[in-house]
Amino acid sequence: MSVIDILTRVDAICKKYDKYDVEKLNANNVSGDDPFARLFASVEADIDSALEKAEMAAKEKNRAAAVAMNAEIRRTKARLMEEVPKLQRLALKKVKGLSKEELAMRNDLVVALPERIQSIPDGSATGTKQTSSWTASASRTEIKFDSTSGLDTLKNMAHDMNEELDRQVPLVDEIETKVDRANADLKNTNVRLKETVTQLRSSRNFCIDIILLCIILGIAAYLYNVLKH
């Protein structure tokens, strides 16, 4: 691309945005025949003024003065944000002499205003949060689509889980049957063990009885021999 082509394109771009040059609008003393141009020029001027004041506040060494200047900047930003809905309504109105492209351009300028306003330094960390809220509102449609796809994914996952549960039911039934059998075997084993212990105790008692009987017979025989002699 040659230098002439570059200059031609720059000139075309300048002419395209010439209608929104604040200095020219003020110089031409824009009246009520184009409310959008007048209000937009006023907002642009206030933004420039707020930016200059923000630079002064950043360089101000007196803390109290800097706080006061930042407070005034925040009030200006709040007032400018209130003008955005008005500009949005005015941008949709047809103006004699403006093409469709120029009307669409006005809407683009208004859409960019909130971020420009909130990006003005005011000594606080809320500007970034407020700017992000505008970005979030612009992406609501995308979030809706993401939510729909997410619900479909969850639905498919639930269906797969149900199928897996259906496949696991026979296995669970088989495990329950084996557990019941094991419990029955354990009960039978306990019964047999109890019977065995009872038998052992009975045989032990029988042996003790025989021993005691032998001792008694021995004592009786001894006494008989003693008394006989």
In terms of pLDDT, which residue wins out, 92 or 84? 84
pLDDT mean over 153-180: 82
In terms of pLDDT, which residue wins out, 61 or 169? 61
pLDDT at residue number 14: 58
211 falls in which pLDDT band (50, 70, 90)? confident
Q: What angle do CA 20, 133, 104 make, to 5 degrees?
A: 30
pLDDT at residue number 190: 82
pLDDT mean over 104-126: 85
pLDDT at residue number 30: 43
Tokens of 202: 């009975």
pTM summary value: 0.42
Note whether 38 and 25 are within 8 A (CB). yes
What is the C-alpha to C-alpha distance for residues 227 and 3, in angstroms, rounded to an integer?
Answer: 154
In terms of pLDDT, which residue wins out, 134 or 39? 39
- The percent of residues in the chain predicted with pLDDT above 70, rounded, is 70
In terms of pLDDT, which residue wins out, 101 or 21? 101
3-state secondary structure the chain: CCHHHHHHHHHHHHHHCHHHCHHHHHHCCCCCCCHHHHHHHHHHHHHHHHHHHHHHHHHCCCHHHHHHHHHHHHHHHHHHHHHHHHHHHHHCCCCCCCCHHHHHHHHHHHHHHHHHHHCCCCCCCHHHHHHHHHHHHHCHHHHHHHHHHHHHHHHHHHHHHHHHHHHHHHHHHHHHHHHHHHHHHHHHHHHHHHHHHHHHHHHHHHHHHHHHHHHHHHHHHHHHHHHHC
- Averaged confidence pLDDT in the chain: 76
